[in-house]
Structure 1
Amino acid sequence: MTADRLTDLLVARLVRDHGRSKHHWRKAIGPVRIYSRATHSHCNWAINPTGSAQEIALIETLMDDLRMRHPLLTA
Protein backbone atom coordinates (compact mmCIF):
# COMPACT_ATOMS: atom_id res chain seq x y z
CA MET A 1 0.00 0.00 0.00
CA THR A 2 1.27 3.46 -0.86
CA ALA A 3 0.50 6.83 0.72
CA ASP A 4 -1.43 7.92 -2.40
CA ARG A 5 -3.55 4.77 -2.33
CA LEU A 6 -4.24 5.24 1.38
CA THR A 7 -5.38 8.82 0.74
CA ASP A 8 -7.62 7.60 -2.09
CA LEU A 9 -9.22 5.03 0.25
CA LEU A 10 -9.81 7.64 2.95
CA VAL A 11 -11.33 10.11 0.49
CA ALA A 12 -13.58 7.52 -1.14
CA ARG A 13 -14.98 6.32 2.19
CA LEU A 14 -15.49 9.85 3.51
CA VAL A 15 -17.29 11.01 0.37
CA ARG A 16 -19.46 7.88 0.34
CA ASP A 17 -20.34 7.98 4.03
CA HIS A 18 -20.42 11.72 4.79
CA GLY A 19 -20.79 13.60 1.50
CA ARG A 20 -18.90 16.76 0.52
CA SER A 21 -16.36 16.84 -2.29
CA LYS A 22 -13.18 14.87 -2.87
CA HIS A 23 -11.25 18.15 -2.82
CA HIS A 24 -12.69 19.03 0.60
CA TRP A 25 -11.65 15.72 2.15
CA ARG A 26 -8.19 15.69 0.52
CA LYS A 27 -7.55 19.12 1.98
CA ALA A 28 -8.82 18.02 5.42
CA ILE A 29 -6.71 14.83 5.39
CA GLY A 30 -3.53 16.59 4.34
CA PRO A 31 -0.28 14.81 3.50
CA VAL A 32 0.55 11.30 4.68
CA ARG A 33 3.90 11.24 6.46
CA ILE A 34 5.86 8.01 6.10
CA TYR A 35 8.49 7.11 8.67
CA SER A 36 11.34 4.63 8.58
CA ARG A 37 10.38 1.06 9.44
CA ALA A 38 13.55 0.90 11.57
CA THR A 39 12.13 3.44 14.01
CA HIS A 40 8.39 2.79 13.50
CA SER A 41 8.07 -0.97 13.17
CA HIS A 42 4.37 -1.25 14.09
CA CYS A 43 2.96 1.60 12.00
CA ASN A 44 5.09 3.77 9.76
CA TRP A 45 2.61 6.47 8.73
CA ALA A 46 0.71 9.39 10.22
CA ILE A 47 -1.79 12.04 9.17
CA ASN A 48 -2.64 15.31 10.93
CA PRO A 49 -6.15 16.13 9.74
CA THR A 50 -7.60 19.64 9.79
CA GLY A 51 -11.13 21.01 9.74
CA SER A 52 -13.96 21.07 12.24
CA ALA A 53 -13.86 18.91 15.34
CA GLN A 54 -16.43 16.59 13.78
CA GLU A 55 -14.45 16.22 10.53
CA ILE A 56 -11.23 15.50 12.41
CA ALA A 57 -13.02 12.88 14.50
CA LEU A 58 -14.41 11.21 11.35
CA ILE A 59 -10.96 11.11 9.73
CA GLU A 60 -9.23 9.82 12.88
CA THR A 61 -11.81 7.06 13.35
CA LEU A 62 -11.29 5.96 9.77
CA MET A 63 -7.49 6.20 10.22
CA ASP A 64 -7.68 3.83 13.19
CA ASP A 65 -9.53 1.30 11.05
CA LEU A 66 -7.03 1.59 8.20
CA ARG A 67 -4.06 1.35 10.57
CA MET A 68 -5.24 -2.09 11.59
CA ARG A 69 -5.49 -3.20 7.95
CA HIS A 70 -2.46 -1.35 6.54
CA PRO A 71 0.04 -0.55 9.29
CA LEU A 72 3.03 -0.30 6.94
CA LEU A 73 3.16 1.79 3.78
CA THR A 74 5.73 1.90 1.04
CA ALA A 75 7.15 5.16 -0.29
Structure 2
Amino acid sequence: MTADKLIDLLVARLLRDHGKSKHHWRKAIGPLRLYGRDTHPHCNWNATPTGNFQDIALIESLLDDLRMTHPLLTN
Protein backbone atom coordinates (compact mmCIF):
# COMPACT_ATOMS: atom_id res chain seq x y z
CA MET A 1 0.00 0.00 0.00
CA THR A 2 1.17 3.54 -0.69
CA ALA A 3 1.09 6.48 1.70
CA ASP A 4 -1.55 8.22 -0.45
CA LYS A 5 -3.82 5.18 -0.36
CA LEU A 6 -3.42 4.88 3.41
CA ILE A 7 -4.40 8.53 3.84
CA ASP A 8 -7.44 7.91 1.62
CA LEU A 9 -8.36 4.94 3.81
CA LEU A 10 -7.94 7.00 7.00
CA VAL A 11 -10.08 9.83 5.63
CA ALA A 12 -12.81 7.46 4.43
CA ARG A 13 -13.07 5.70 7.79
CA LEU A 14 -13.01 8.93 9.80
CA LEU A 15 -15.61 10.52 7.53
CA ARG A 16 -17.86 7.45 7.73
CA ASP A 17 -17.58 7.05 11.50
CA HIS A 18 -17.32 10.66 12.70
CA GLY A 19 -18.59 12.97 9.96
CA LYS A 20 -17.10 16.42 9.27
CA SER A 21 -15.43 16.78 5.83
CA LYS A 22 -12.65 15.20 3.79
CA HIS A 23 -10.71 18.45 3.94
CA HIS A 24 -11.00 18.57 7.73
CA TRP A 25 -9.63 15.05 8.17
CA ARG A 26 -6.85 15.41 5.57
CA LYS A 27 -5.67 18.57 7.29
CA ALA A 28 -5.86 16.93 10.75
CA ILE A 29 -3.99 13.79 9.64
CA GLY A 30 -1.23 15.75 7.90
CA PRO A 31 1.47 14.11 5.80
CA LEU A 32 2.74 10.60 6.48
CA ARG A 33 6.47 10.29 6.98
CA LEU A 34 8.06 7.24 5.42
CA TYR A 35 11.27 5.73 6.77
CA GLY A 36 13.67 3.26 5.22
CA ARG A 37 12.94 -0.40 5.80
CA ASP A 38 16.56 -0.95 6.77
CA THR A 39 16.15 1.29 9.84
CA HIS A 40 12.43 0.63 10.49
CA PRO A 41 11.79 -3.02 9.52
CA HIS A 42 8.54 -3.45 11.50
CA CYS A 43 6.70 -0.23 10.61
CA ASN A 44 8.14 2.29 8.18
CA TRP A 45 5.65 5.16 8.52
CA ASN A 46 4.39 7.68 11.04
CA ALA A 47 1.92 10.57 11.24
CA THR A 48 1.64 13.52 13.58
CA PRO A 49 -2.01 14.56 13.64
CA THR A 50 -3.08 18.06 14.60
CA GLY A 51 -6.31 19.62 15.78
CA ASN A 52 -8.38 19.36 18.91
CA PHE A 53 -7.85 16.63 21.48
CA GLN A 54 -10.84 14.59 20.30
CA ASP A 55 -9.76 14.58 16.64
CA ILE A 56 -6.19 13.65 17.56
CA ALA A 57 -7.41 10.79 19.77
CA LEU A 58 -9.65 9.46 16.98
CA ILE A 59 -6.84 9.62 14.43
CA GLU A 60 -4.25 8.07 16.76
CA SER A 61 -6.58 5.19 17.56
CA LEU A 62 -7.17 4.50 13.88
CA LEU A 63 -3.44 4.81 13.14
CA ASP A 64 -2.71 2.17 15.77
CA ASP A 65 -5.21 -0.20 14.14
CA LEU A 66 -3.83 0.39 10.65
CA ARG A 67 -0.23 -0.16 11.78
CA MET A 68 -1.23 -3.74 12.53
CA THR A 69 -2.69 -4.38 9.07
CA HIS A 70 -0.41 -2.12 6.98
CA PRO A 71 2.96 -1.85 8.76
CA LEU A 72 5.03 -1.28 5.62
CA LEU A 73 4.21 1.29 2.94
CA THR A 74 5.72 2.02 -0.44
CA ASN A 75 6.18 5.43 -2.08
When the two structures are superposed, what TM-score results if normalisation uses the length of structure 2? Answer: 0.99
The two structures, once aligned, show a CA RMSD in angstroms of 0.3
Counting aligned pairs with the same residue, the percent is 75
The correspondence of residues 23-34 of structure 1 with structure 2, limited to 5 A, is 23-34=23-34
Gaps of 5+ in 2: none
Report how many aligned residue pairs link the two structures.
75
1:59 Cα deviation (Å)?
A: 0.1
4+ runs of 1 displaced by more than 3 Å? none
SS of the counterpart of 1:33? Answer: strand
> CA offsets, 1:33-58, max 9 Å, x none?
00000000000000000000010000
Paired residues for 1:16-27 under 5 Å: 16-27=16-27
> Where in structure 1 are there 5+ consecutive unaligned residues?
none
Give 1:10's aligned amino acid. L
Partner of 1:53: 53
Deviation at 1:32, TM superposition (A): 0.5
